[in-house]
Structure 1
Amino acid sequence: MAKAAVLVASFLFVALTMFCEEATADYEGCCVSYSKYQLPFIRIKGYSIQTPNDYCDIPAVVFHTIKGRHICANPKDTWVEIRIQQLMNKVKKMA
């Protein structure tokens, strides 16, 4: 019975990680795809900009989350522009 419970738990863990996948920075912080989901502002600590080069072939905004993850977003998406503006406003209030 215990072996079956471990097997079921393992299967559920793998299934959940597949469905909760976000586009994260790959090799040495290089984005190769964009997140399919909008990142809530409350989870964002900061961001950086990726420009295309020999290793990273897409432009991206890399959001840094409070949990230490790096989420790749399309800089042309409206929600990305809004999050950047929200972060800039937050910095202005702190100054």
Structure 2
Amino acid sequence: MSHLTITLISSILLSLFPHTPAAYGPLNYACCVKYTRNPLPLRVIKGFIEQSSREVCRIDAIIFFTKNKKKVCASVEDQWVRAALAHLRSKINKLTVKGAPRLTTGQKQLIYTTTKSP
């Protein structure tokens, strides 16, 4: 067989194999692609995570988790977002100072609850 035939057959065989999705990042990771400009009331925010453009997603964002289990994408440049983050951080500091076991941390995720322990 000539090199051309071997190359052609190899190319066809390789194209039949599916591409691995791991090369493109996790498929279940939903990135923010735009920001909301409507401020969220502080009483509905349960927690937040930070999305970095240096990782999988294209934009930097704060993703707020609401009590209704929704995710809201926002820009840290907005004043209402900075105020909400300051409020959440003060709540988190109060919870950790008191030693309450109500604080849950995960990978780049910080969620707090305001329920009182018995």
Q: TM-score range by the shorter chain?
A: 0.5 to 0.7
RMSD: 1.6
- 2: CA distance, partners of 1:69 / 1:43: 10
Structure 2: 5+ residue runs without aligned partners? 1-27, 97-118
Tell me the TM-score normalised to structure 2 length.
0.54
Residue 57 of structure 1 is matched in structure 2 by 58
The structure whose Rg is larger is 2
- The count of residues paired between Structure 1 and Structure 2 equals 69
**3-state SS in 1 of match to 2:62:** strand
Q: Segments of 4+ in structure 1 off by > 4 A?
A: none
Q: Relative contact order, CA 8 A, sep 6+: which one is greater?
A: 1
The TM-score normalised by the length of structure 1 is 0.66
**Paired position in structure 1 for 2:68:** 67
> Could you tell me how far 1:54 is from its partner in structure 2?
6.6
Is structure 2 residue 43 aligned with structure 1 residue 35?
A: no
Q: Which structure 2 residues correspond to residues 1-95 of structure 1 after superposition, within 5 A?
A: 28-53=29-54, 55-95=56-96
Structure with greater proportional helix content: 1
Query: How far did 1:93 drift?
Result: 1.7
CA–CA separation in structure 2 for the residues paired with 1:54 and 1:48: 14
User: What is the identity, as a one-letter code, of the residue corresponding to 2:82?
Assistant: E
- Report the CA distance between 1:28 and its aligned residue: 2.3
Unaligned runs of 5+ in 1: 1-26
Sequence identity (%): 33
CA distance in 2, matches of 1:89, 1:49: 17
